[in-house]
């Protein structure tokens, strides 16, 4: 276990920074739609500017730094994944398709058997 101290001193300022970052994202999206009569480049610039301001503000808060650390750790873990070769992926896909086909035939057969038993033998309704 780690013995990291718990800090609660800057919690309200961090909450304010996160709220400000959310407001910046919303402002960027609203600006994108508000500028609908302008060119696409101007609209995209408004959206990107809002997102950049949000990232800059969030990065200065503790939750933002924690998220950045989480993202870096996720990338590091994703690099450790052993991906299957093309041949292995094709074999696994073939097994899945085969299983789906077998299940489809089984369920179709079960449905037909129940149809015959219920309608023809029990109820006496001939199709």
Q: Any idea where the domains of the chain sit in the sequence?
A: 11-79, 83-127
Q: Give me the pLDDT at residue 109, please.
A: 97
Is the Cα dihedral 57, 59, 61, 67 positive or negative?
positive
pLDDT digit string (tens) for 28-57? 999 999 988 989 999 999 999 999 999 888
With a CB cutoff of 8 Å and minimum separation 6, the contacts of 58 are: 17, 18, 21, 64, 67
| DSSP string of 32-61, one letter each residue | HHHTTTS-HHHHHHHHHHHHHHHHHHHHTS
Determine which of 7-11, 17-21, 27-31 has the lowest per-residue pLDDT on average: 7-11
Per-position b or e across 10-33, b if 16+ CB within 10 A of its CB: eeeebeebbeebeebbebbeebbe
Helices 11-34 and 62-79 sit at what angle, rounded to 10 degrees? 80
pLDDT above 90 (res 112):
yes
Mean per-residue pLDDT for 16-30? 90
Please give the radius of gyration of the chain, using alpha carbons only, rounded to the nearest integer: 29
- Give the Cα separation of 75 and 57 in Å (integer): 23
Mean per-residue pLDDT for 97-113? 97
pLDDT digit string (tens) for 62-104? 888 888 889 999 999 999 999 899 999 999 999 999 999 999 9
């Amino acid at each position: 276990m780690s013995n990291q101290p718990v800090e609660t001193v800057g919690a309200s300022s961090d909450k304010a920074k996160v709220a400000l970052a959310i407001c910046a994202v919303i402002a960027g999206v609203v600006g994108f739609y508000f500028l609908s009569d302008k060119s696409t480049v101007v609209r995209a610039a408004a959206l990107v500017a809002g997102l950049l301001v949000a990232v800059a503000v969030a990065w200065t808060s503790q939750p933002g730094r924690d998220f950045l650390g989480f993202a870096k750790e996720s990338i590091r873990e994703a690099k450790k994944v052993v991906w299957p070769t093309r041949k292995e992926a094709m074999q696994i896909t073939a097994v899945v398709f085969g299983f789906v086909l077998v299940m489809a035939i089984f369920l179709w057969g079960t449905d037909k058997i129940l149809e015959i038993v219920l309608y023809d033998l029990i109820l006496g309704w001939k199709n």
